[in-house]
Amino acid sequence: MSSTEMLQIITASGKTVGDHKTDLTPDDMVEMYGHMVMTRALDERMINLQRQGRIGFYVPSTGEEAAQIGSGKLFGDLDWLYPSYRVPGLFLQRGASLDHMVANCYGNQADLCKGRQMPVHYAFGDLNIVSISSPIGTHIIQATGTAMGQKIRGDGGLSACYFGDGGTSSNDFHSGLNFAGVTKAPVLFICTNNQWAISVPIEKQTASETLAIKAVAYGMPGIRVDGNDVLAVHAATKEAAERARAGEGPTLIELMTYRRGPHSSSDDPTRYRGNQADEWLDRDPILRFRKYLEREDIWSQSQEEELIASCKQAVNDAITAVEKLPLPTLESLFTDVYATVPPHLREQYEDLIKHEGSGHEPDPDAAFPL
């Protein structure tokens, strides 16, 4: 398939295209569907929390669940993931704790980053998921460097980097893909083309016919995929992962989807795109996959109702458990830096406690910076 054609396995009606088949088992597909529904349940609840003033910031991914879950299924224990800030499903699928993800948005004592990262910038080193970077594209060269190291070690692992269409306009996109192509590093560049880089539409970002076609200049395959078709996303990622593990180098995967919601909770998309998102409602990735599963007699209405209820309950339980926890203490500013606190930091800590107290009382007049 060329980098200007688009791979699709299931249509918006849930029917398969041509003779395309999947090697996923029914259990695999049900599991993936569950992660997609959980991802949306988390997104909807967290946006509501932000609107209620209970958290300061959130980045939704509604409409992009297939791009996250279809690709994330392929990665193993030796692989390293460099995510963007719009792939919560990837974390859930990888086994991240829902409590820890919610805590990150509160920045309290249960937050693994101790409130020092941006909200929705999760970090799970034990799952080989690198902390998210807000600056667009910087993690592309990091993923390439990791993959070059994996190739040198010969451990069979690969790296995968997630970014949006806006990330292809960054300098690091060129540097990362250029070095990956030259060294044949085992890295997957997964571009979620959701049509908008905040308020800049794709046609104002590039003159290329597609984003996938940019791969040609770097000496690697470029694959364009229906990003709302979870089976097509899985198939394309599997092919790219097999190439990488076989020593054949990197692949650029362009996942065509749409950012149905705002760029973040601080954004008002109606100011620059009107009601364009309504056109994508019928292409909803969750609805499409559900129709397919029902056609294959893998899913039922009773299962659907049970899944939705359990996902909502799991999210609510996590919020209930996390929300009542206190903020990180002042002491964590010092004890969370070095394994053993050096004397000069100990002196600074004792001086701070003397003047500020031992707690961390929030300033009621402080506003979230974004």
Neighbours of 12 (CB within 10 A): 17
Neighbours of 191 (CB within 10 A): 29
304 and 337 inside one domain: no
Q: What is the pLDDT of residue 22?
A: 87
201 and 109 inside one domain: yes
**Number of domains observed in the structure of the chain:** 2
For residue 7, tell me if it sits in a domain.
Answer: no
Q: What is the pLDDT of residue 145?
A: 98
CATH assignment at residue 183: 3.40.50.970
265 pLDDT higher than 60: yes
- The catalytic residue positions are 259, 263, 272
For residue 108, tell me if it sits in a domain.
Answer: yes
Give the integer Cα–Cα distance in Å for 89 and 289.
16
Chain mean pLDDT for the chain? 93
Question: What's the angle, vertex CA 153, arms to CA 253 and CA 233, rounded to 5?
Answer: 20
Main-chain phi, psi angles of 145, to 5 degrees: -60, -40
**Which of residues 306, 323, 340 is at a domain's end?**
323
260 and 219 inside one domain: yes
What is the pTM for the complete model shown? 0.93
305 and 370 inside one domain: no
Considering 103-117, 214-228, 270-284, 342-356, the range whose residues carry the highest mean pLDDT is 214-228
213 and 195 inside one domain: yes
Please name every residue paired with 188 in a beta bridge, in sequence order, or none if there are none. Answer: 160, 251
302 and 366 inside one domain: no
**Which of residues 285, 300, 323 is at a domain's end?**
323
More confident residue, 114 or 21: 114
**pLDDT above 70 as % of the chain:** 95
More confident residue, 188 or 336: 188
As to burial, measured by CB atoms within 10 angstroms (0-12 exposed, 13-18 middle, 19+ buried), residue 352 is middle
For residue 9, tell me if it sits in a domain.
Answer: no
Task: Tell me the per-residue pLDDT of 313-327, one tens digit each, with 9 for 90 and over.
Answer: 999 999 999 999 999
Give the integer Cα–Cα distance in Å for 141 and 21.
34
236 and 345 inside one domain: no
pLDDT band with cut points at 50, 70 and 90 for residue 361: low
155 and 286 inside one domain: yes
147 and 73 inside one domain: yes
**pLDDT above 90 as % of the chain:** 83
238 and 340 inside one domain: no
For residue 361, tell me if it sits in a domain.
Answer: yes
Q: What is the pLDDT of residue 154?
A: 96
For residue 98, tell me if it sits in a domain.
Answer: yes
Dihedral sign, Cα of residue 334, residue 340, residue 344, residue 349: positive
Neighbours of 70 (CB within 10 A): 30
Strand 196-197 and strand 200-201: the pairing is antiparallel
Sequence-distant (6+) residues with CB within 8 A of 24 are: 32, 73, 231, 234
Instruction: Give the C-alpha distances (Å, rounded to integers) separating 201 from 52, 95, 138, 197, 206.
Output: 30, 34, 21, 6, 10
342 and 260 inside one domain: no
For residue 319, tell me if it sits in a domain.
Answer: yes
367 pLDDT higher than 60: no
Task: Tell me the per-residue pLDDT of 166-178, one tens digit each, with 9 for 90 and over.
Answer: 999 999 999 999 9
245 and 273 inside one domain: yes
3-state secondary structure of 161: strand
Task: Tell me the per-residue pLDDT of 125-165, one tens digit each, with 9 for 90 and over.
Answer: 999 999 998 999 999 999 999 999 999 999 999 999 999 99
For residue 188, tell me if it sits in a domain.
Answer: yes
Domain of residue 159, residue span:
26-323
For residue 21, tell me if it sits in a domain.
Answer: no
